[in-house]
Amino acid sequence: MSWHPPYRSSKFRHVYGKAASKEKCYDCVPISCNVYDNHFCAVNPNFIAVVTECAGGGTFLVIPIKQTGKLDPHYPKVCGHKGNVLDIKWNPFNDFVIASCSEDSTVKIWDIPNQLLKRNITSPKKELLGHTRRVGLIEWHPTADSILFSSGHDYKIMIWNLDVKEAVISKPVRILDAHTDVVLSMSFNTDGSLLATACRDRKIRVIDPRAGTVLQVVKYESHKVNKVLFLGNMKKLFSTGTSQWNNRQIALWDQNDLSVPLREENLDDSSGLLFPIYDSDTHMLYVVGKGDGNIRYYEVSPEKPYLNYLMEYRSPLPQKGVGVMPKRGLDVSVCEIFRFYKLIPTKSLIEPVSMIVPRRSESYQEDIYPLTAAAQPALTAQQWLNGVNKGPLLVSLRPGSGAANSLLPFLEPEPLMQTTDLSQQQGWGEMMPLEDEQKPREIEDDRKQLKVEEKSPKTEQMCLSNGFDIFERPPPRTESELLQMFYRQQEEIRRLRELVNQSDVQIKQLQLKLRNGCTDTGNY
């Protein structure tokens, strides 16, 4: 039995979960009823993608993150698979590229337009053909650009380089053939040099993916593993599974010695799967139960007892899976350190749940927001394939730093400066702190964007509402259609007001920077 100290000093001892109000949930979403043990949901700061139930082929929805409320039953879908979609993952370095895998043995890469969808997307950007049986798992490499891993029921893990011109790729750059059964889980370490897998043969493997060699392997009789996870730079592995008596169980392992777990604990006797999710910034570990509404969370420490239980978020609504918002999409003004998106198929509902540190101050809390992984790759695909290892690029989440978002905000144009030119903007960047400086490539992108905005006539702009052009929609014929149109217009007005308010704030910030720049120039 592990010894627990009577008191631990921690910033996260009082973290609590807060479910979003009904207005901020996503209602009437036809969530998939597939029993495959995956999340069926992927989230980034611009979109939420969820696998849906359909007849004939596989589809998933891509909904703008701010488009909450009831979903239009005719909302456009991404449909191109001939079988059920089993997994979806957003590209960590491009918020408008998503990968999907299916029972039709294919992996497809999709480009999502940076405007509201008006029609179904049926043609993928790339199609990966290599597996001979259905593909159940896909994972993007955490630091290298355009590297994707896929695992199928042919017991093979394939590594794909998407940085090629061909639209159909039939030959992966490497095939890992070290498993004797279906792979249930894949997880990378921080720099992506190691891959941990959990297999249906009850074995945990640590693999060098470029060499294809198995570095560690273990089969522990009292722990039937389902999911495995690297715990960042802690040199540890965490796994969930079942005991000999079919109790749900968690286990902690030393990355360099998998012979005996460092800690093993039975949780309960429920039958649902346990999904582990780790936050390497705060060293918090979340264990999400499939088929129940509970989310347990722990704090990981390098000393015994290694796992320190904090609290449990309870809900009467059972979840089928969860999506996780990247750190750059969190609301730091309310001390939100994590956000889940619970799939509740019994209610056709997606419910956001925020994990919040209770603080009275409204200022930026730097101690709970360390530098986090940026949305830019640290390596090219060829560099990683050649053997180079590099950790993720880090950025600050401080508001106004400009480093948190790698791409342009969704449907939010940047304000144009009329009284200054780009050379003055670059001058401000030299006087601002390091985290606020713009890179030369970003400045060039801004110049290109300004030129495009100057050339585009106003007559070509489109007014979109709930994914449709309001000028192409026929006039409402019934009272219910009239009310729906009224609510859509109210939502559009609210969104435009938010854009105007944000533009006013940015203008004031730029004026303040200009005043400070003039003052500093006068002092010299």
pLDDT tens figures, 169-221: 999 999 999 999 999 999 999 999 999 999 999 999 999 999 999 999 999 88
Q: Is the pLDDT of residue 148 over 60?
A: yes
**Confidence (pLDDT) at 523:** 56
**Confidence (pLDDT) at 50:** 96
Query: Strands 349-356, 26-27: parallel, antiparallel or unpaired by DSSP?
Result: antiparallel
* Beta carbons of 254 and 262 less than 8 angstroms apart: yes
| Percentage of the chain modeled with pLDDT above 70 | 82
**Confidence (pLDDT) at 112:** 94
Q: Is 328 left (phi over 0), alpha (psi -120 to 50) or beta?
A: alpha
Q: Is 497 exposed, middle or buried (0-12, 13-18, 19+ CB in 10 A)?
A: exposed
**Confidence (pLDDT) at 456:** 41
Q: Is the pLDDT of residue 285 over 90?
A: yes
Lowest model confidence (mean pLDDT) among 23-27, 365-369, 401-405, 489-493: 401-405
**Confidence (pLDDT) at 117:** 84
- How far the first Cα of the chain sits from its last, in Å, is 68
**Confidence (pLDDT) at 360:** 85
Q: Which residues contact 303 (CB under 8 A, 6 or more apart)?
A: none
**Confidence (pLDDT) at 497:** 85
Collect contacts of 161-168 with beta carbons under 8 A, ≥24 apart. Answer: 161/381, 161/382, 161/385, 162/109, 162/126, 162/381, 163/380, 163/381, 163/382, 166/126, 167/125, 167/126, 167/127, 168/126, 168/127, 168/129
Q: Is 334 left (phi over 0), alpha (psi -120 to 50) or beta?
A: alpha
State how far the alpha carbon of 282 is from the alpha carbons of 127, 320, 369, in Å: 37, 26, 8
- Specify the higher pLDDT residue, 465 or 523: 523
Band of residue 403 on the pLDDT scale cut at 50, 70, 90: low
Nearest-5° angle of CA 466, CA 75, CA 48? 80
Unique residue bearing structure tokens 């956001």: 352
> Which is nearest to 296 in space by CA: 305, 286, 304?
286
Tokens of residue 274, six digits: 């346990």
To the question of domain 16-373 being in CATH 2.130.10.10, the answer is: yes
Domain boundaries, the chain: 16-373
The model carries a pTM of 0.76
SS3 327: helix
Q: Please state, as a whole number, how many other Cβ atoms lie within 10 Å of the Cβ of residue 2.
A: 11
Query: Strands 47-51, 58-64: parallel, antiparallel or unpaired by DSSP?
Result: antiparallel
Q: Is the pLDDT of residue 496 over 60?
A: yes
Specify which residues 60 forms β-bridges with: 51, 78
Summarize the chain as % helix, strand, coil (round to 5): 20, 35, 45
| Percentage of the chain modeled with pLDDT above 90 | 64
Alpha-carbon 423 to chain mean position: 36
**Confidence (pLDDT) at 480:** 66
Q: Is the pLDDT of residue 457 over 50?
A: no
Dist. CA 333–CA 331, nearest whole Å: 5
Dist. CA 115–CA 11, nearest whole Å: 40
Band of residue 458 on the pLDDT scale cut at 50, 70, 90: very low
Task: Name the CA dihedral angle for 481, 343, 295, 140, rounded to a multiple of 10 degrees.
Answer: -120
> Which is nearest to 445 in space by CA: 462, 422, 424?
422
- Specify the higher pLDDT residue, 409 or 76: 76
Mean pLDDT of the chain: 84
Lowest model confidence (mean pLDDT) among 46-50, 95-99, 123-127, 515-519: 515-519
**Confidence (pLDDT) at 460:** 37
* Beta carbons of 328 and 8 less than 8 angstroms apart: no
Q: Please state, as a whole number, how many other Cβ atoms lie within 10 Å of the Cβ of residue 331.
A: 11
For residues 67-96, average pLDDT: 94
Q: Is the pLDDT of residue 99 over 90?
A: yes
Band of residue 269 on the pLDDT scale cut at 50, 70, 90: confident
> Which is nearest to 453 in space by CA: 415, 505, 427?
415
pLDDT tens figures, 308-357: 999 999 999 999 999 999 999 999 999 999 999 999 999 999 999 999 99
**Confidence (pLDDT) at 326:** 96
Q: Is the pLDDT of residue 443 over 50?
A: no
pLDDT tens figures, 8-53: 678 899 999 999 999 999 999 999 988 898 999 999 999 999 999 8
